[in-house]
Every structure is written in structure tokens, then in C-alpha cells.
Amino acid sequence: MSPRKLLVFLILINLSVHPDYVSSANVNLDFPFFTFRNITLLGDSYLRNGVIGLTRELGVPSSSSGTVIYNHPVAFFDPETNITASFSTRFSFSIDNVNPSSFGDGLAFFLSPNNQTLGSPGGYLGLVNSSEFSKNRFIAIEFDTKQDLHFNDPDENHVGLDINSLISIKTANSMIRGVNLKSGNLITAWIDYENEKKKFEIFLSYSSFKPEEPLLRVSIDLSDYLKEFMYVGFSASTEGSTELHCIENWSFRTMGFRPIRPKVQPHSVSESSVPLKPPITVSGSGNRHHKRIGLGLGIGFPAFFGAVLVIFGWISVKKWKGTKSERIIKAELVTGPRQFSYKELKSATRGFHSSRILGHGAFGTVYKAFFMDLGTISAVKRSKHTHEGKTEFLSELSIIASLRHKNLVQLQGWCVEKGELLLVYDFMPNGSLDKVLYQESENNNPLKWTYRYYIAVGLASVLTYLHQECEQQVIHRDIKTSNVMLDGNYNARLGDFGLARLMDHGTSPVSTLTAGTMGYLVPEYLQYGTATEKTDVYSYGVVVLELACGRRPIEREDESQKQVNLVDWVWRKYSEGKLIEAADQRMNGEFKEEEMRRLLLIGLSCANPDSSERPSMRRVLQILNNEADPVIVPKVKPSLIFSNSLPLSIDEIVSDCEECSSPGSELEIKVY
């Protein structure tokens, strides 16, 4: 018998003699994205790219109903201790529509004793059957986008608490918190129930930060409705509508149960509780012999079991140490994104044909790829040079591949063949922010203000995630409009990690090759050659100013042809008390002045030459979401002083390059 099989056999024997355990226990579920593992899809629901769609994705009005349920029942009541659990859940969802006039009906989060909850389309929200109203039992929170007078709906944009009925116990209009359920934007919901306080609360926000005040608060005792075991899930429905309902991530936990403890047999029991066997008469010597055997087994079996564990551990460690590092890294990547063959990618891009080129980045050339067998479209990045430290690069790639955020361009797969490194990403239908903000705007089709503001919010959200919420801090080092991609709904998706660096939180910045794009490059980076999170903050500030002003980071004046720095230009307007005049003239004043001022001041504060005065990305996100006071920006731009090791100023570097750069072009620089 092999050591592995022997270990499993002994563990099974060991477990078979352990005492029973209490079944009720607190649970903690976390789905940063979804896979088919642990969930059941019912009706019209589907899974695509880690996101759950609950209703049919059609361009024509239809009736649809879908449900997703966590496979395993969750304990909500412990009959032994008579304890009812409290629970808390957080999820991000979007309700979108290809035809805004064709809205309805909404989605719901529910708890049900039934794992086959699938109701009728329309106003029934997939919770109950139209012919059997009283059949399904549930506790649900509805996010309703259509007023149905049959169920006493107050309006077409509300949140409500439902118990065994679609007539809500209490509702609240989501616009109270400035959230439009039908906006198509990603919305985060928090639902909390405290059993001891008999308090139920629902929070909503466009951001990932939980608001201080709930949208809906209900004083209610759910102990009569929470069964010993219940299933948790989501449902949605439409009727004669093109409304789409998606769930992007979800976490859920219960609280209040006591820690699991083994049921220990009592030291003494009555004769009536244990069947007694007739006594067996044995000789004294025989009895001592059995005792010696029992003692030997009692000592020998644990010792043997421990020895097997030690041998198995030694074999495993030796085998692990003997594996090559690159193979380990590749194995890690295989468990995440898919490994494509070079032949597949070459075929999907028509042999990397020039007609399939989408753009060029620091990492290489990007191609549009059609995968006929999968029926999908992706973007393939092809390295323009081979990486000498392939092992180190793959190590970093394995971490980047594990990143999950709604504002990241998601990595689908990779390929290392024929001396090339190819990365496969989600295809972004609207291309880059650079293209939309400048090229398309030149055709009298400027990007709308609402999109611009939410692009700034989305980019701040993902940078907060990279800087402060990942296991290892990620410094992007190349934030610019051409690396900000836009999906079908004009949501910002940060891409191109060709220059990204990973480091542990709290560590000192490491001196690296200075790389980036002129206009976005932080001043102290040129002097010290070190990348920190404040490097990304500066570049973000420049992008924000571009969104507000519609101007490139460095432009030539029409008359003098002198290079003009965007940060200096906006700061000059601010000093003169004419900040709003910096707004993009092509929008013809179609923007909210308060939001415009906020965005311009955030841009200046992030682009402050003094890195210590720049806010963190978390603070920026809070300011954009009106959850924190704005940073005070000095009226005069702080001066920048370089050490003698680098006598050139930014203006001097730019002026030296005027002859070699065309108007509107970006200058990529590297300084050793």
C-alpha cells in the first residue's frame, strides 16, 4: 500500500472512532466571482466570465425568470441551544437595459427552506408561482424596478422586505440614497439582521464602502421564519422587457452560534442506559495477558500512526523541493486562467494579422481574437520581446491573474511558446478611454459627463483595491488614458500590467528602472527612480484632469507652439479663480458644476508635486462618493526642487524633446 493510501486509511479509522459533533455552526461564504462549484442555476439563469446572469440576454422584449442557489443548506436555528442566528450579506449587482423605456421587473435576494425556488416571470420576481401564491415560503429583499399595483408597489425604483408574500412589509425608494436601480451601474447592497436586537437593515451604494445610514430599517423578529436549515440565493424576472439582472460577487455569513464542541460521554451512566453483557469468567493470568495486549495496542497504534504521518510529510516535502520553480508557477496559473496553445491564438488572430491590431502598449501589441469554438471575442497581448527573467515574470503574472475586481480587465488565459509570452484578456467593446475621449470626441460626439465621472470613480475604486486591499500591494506604474479600457456600459477597466510591480504592504519602495509616459510620470520618480503607491496617485490625477478638461497631459499652444503641461494649466486657472473655465468646452456646459469642481480639485490634489500631500486612493474614492471632505488644495502650485544628481526640471526635459515629438503625441521615456 502506498504511503498516501495508508495515510488516508488510518485517518478514516481515526475519524470513525471520534465522537459526534454539533451540526449547527456559523458559516462564512465568499464569492469574489462565481464558478459552477457550489451553486445551482435554475430557469433562465446562466454563468458567464464569473458573473451570474438571472434573466435572458435578448435584444427584444421577452418574459424570463431565473434563480441561482447555494448548493448547501445553511443552519439558521439550533434546536439544542434554541439559538436563532443573525446573518449578514454583501453583494454587487447591476440592472441594465438595452431599451431604457422597457424596464421591469427586478431581482431579489432570498432565504428559503426549498432548494428549487423558481417562480413565474413578471412581478413575481421568480419567487412564487402565479398559480400557487402560498406555496413558496421565503424571506426576500426585493429590488423592484416596476410599479405593480397588484402587490401594492409604491413606485418603480424601490427596495422592500418580503416574508412569504410579494406585498412588502416595508419599502424605501433607493433614490433617497442617490441610487438608481435601473442605471446599469454596479450597485453594492449590504443586508444585516441582528437577532438579539430584532433589527433588519439594508444599505445601498455605488461604491464599495458601506454607508453609515441604512436605506431601510425594519424592527422585526425573524426567529419564527428562520428554519433550522434554509437555502440562500438570488432570483429575477422580466415580462415583456429587455432588462438584464447580473450578480458579480457575493459574501454571506451567519453569527451567534456557539463554537462547535464534541459531545463527550459522561463519566458515569446508569445500568439502564447501557446494555450489559453477562460476565465472562477468566483466570487471573489470562486477564493480565489481555491487559498487556491492550496496553501494547494503546501505545503502539498512536506511535505507528504518528510515524506514518512523519514519513508521509518527509516524502511530500522532498518531492515539493525537487520540483522546478517554473513548473510550480505554471501549475498555479493553470488552476486559474486557461493555458492556450500558440496554435489557438494564431488561428484566432488570423496569424496575428495587422487588420486585427487593436493597439500598442508597454507590454506589446494587442490583437482582436475570435474563438469560433467558444463563440467568444477576446483581446490577445503579444510580447514584443522575450523576457529574460521568465520565472520571475510568471511569478508576478500568477499573482496578477488572481486579482478580481469589477474595474480590472480580467485575464482569461496565457501562453508561453516559441519564445513569446501571450496574454488573453476580456475584450472591451468601447476600446480605450484615450480613443473615446479624444478621437471620437473630435467627431462632435463628446463623452457625456455622467460617464466621465463614473470612470473616475471606477478607476479610484480599482486603485484602492490594488494599493490597499490585495494580499500584496500592486503598483501599476503606467496609469494613463490608453490603459483605461471601457466595457459595453462605459465602465472603467484598468489594464496593461506590463510595468506593474508587486510588493508586501508596508515595505520600502524598491529602486527600479524608471519607466512610464511623459505627462503622467511623477516628478520624484525621475529623481529617485522608485515606485510607490503615490506614483499611481499622481498619474490618476492627470487622468482625472483629462476627463474634466478634455485636454491631453502635454499639448502645444496654437500660436506659440509651446508645450503646455495640463497640471500647470489647470492650476493657473485655479489660482485666477476661474477653475470651472478649465471644463471641456465640447460638453457645452452639460455637467454638474459641483461635480466638475470636485473632480478638478481631486485632480490637482493627486498631481501635487509634493508626494506627501497627495491623498490615498481610498480617500479619493470617499471624496468622489461624497463620504469625505475634499482635500485642501493650495492656490499656488507648490514648487519642485531636484537634487544635484538630476539638474533637469520637467519643463527642461519636455522642451528638449519638442523637436522629436509631434503635437498631441505621448513621449515614452526610460531613465537609468
- Predicted confidence at residue 94, as pLDDT, reads 94
Average pLDDT over residues 396-421: 80
Least confident of 325-329, 381-385, 417-421: 325-329
Q: Any idea where the domains of the chain sit in the sequence? A: 28-255, 337-401+412-426, 433-671
The more confidently predicted of residues 415 and 287 is 415
Q: ω before 224 within 30° of 0 (cis)?
A: no
State how far the Cα of 349 lies from the Cα of 575, in Å rounded to an integer: 51
- For domain 28-255, give the fold: Jelly Rolls (2.60.120)
Give bridge partners of residue 66 from the DSSP assignment. Answer: 43, 236
The letter for the amino acid at 81 is T
Average pLDDT over residues 622-640: 88
Q: What are 446-460's pLDDT values in tens digits?
A: 889 999 999 999 999
Q: What share of the chain is helix, strand, coil (3-state, %, to 5)?
A: 30, 25, 45
The more confidently predicted of residues 475 and 160 is 160
- Predicted confidence at residue 72, as pLDDT, reads 85
Dihedral class, residue 303 (left if φ above 0, else alpha if ψ from -120 to 50, else beta): alpha
- Predicted confidence at residue 296, as pLDDT, reads 58
pLDDT band at 305 (very low <50, low <70, confident <90, very high): low
Average pLDDT over residues 611-634: 91
- For domain 337-401+412-426, give the fold: Phosphorylase Kinase; domain 1 (3.30.200)
For residues 38 and 228, is the Cβ–Cβ distance under 8 A? no
Question: Global pTM?
Answer: 0.49
- Residue 638 DSSP symbol: P
The letter for the amino acid at 76 is F
Residue with cell 505621448: 666
- Predicted confidence at residue 228, as pLDDT, reads 82
Mean pLDDT for all residues in the chain: 77
User: What backbone torsions phi and psi does residue 381 show, to the nearest 5 degrees?
Assistant: -95, 130
Nearest C-alpha neighbor of 447 from the set 344, 566, 579, 591: 591
Residue 501 has pLDDT above 60, yes or no: no
Instruction: List residues forming the annotated binding site for ATP.
Output: 381
Residue 105 CA, distance from chain mean position: 26
Residue 618 has pLDDT above 90, yes or no: yes
| CA 663 to each of CA 551, 557, 558, 660: distance values in angstroms, whole numbers, following the listed order | 12, 9, 10, 10
State how far the Cα of 353 lies from the Cα of 348, in Å rounded to an integer: 10
Q: Any idea which residues carry the catalytic annotation? A: 478
Q: What are 250-278's pLDDT values in tens digits?
A: 999 999 887 654 444 443 333 333 333 34
Q: What are 318-338's pLDDT values in tens digits?
A: 555 444 444 544 554 545 578
Average pLDDT over residues 352-367: 79
Domain 433-671 classified CATH 1.10.260.40?
A: no
Same fold, 28-255 and 337-401+412-426: no
- Predicted confidence at residue 472, as pLDDT, reads 79
* DSSP H stretches of helix in 431-521: 433-434, 449-464
Q: What are 42-69's pLDDT values in tens digits?
A: 888 999 888 999 998 877 888 889 999 9
Least confident of 70-84, 384-398, 602-616: 384-398
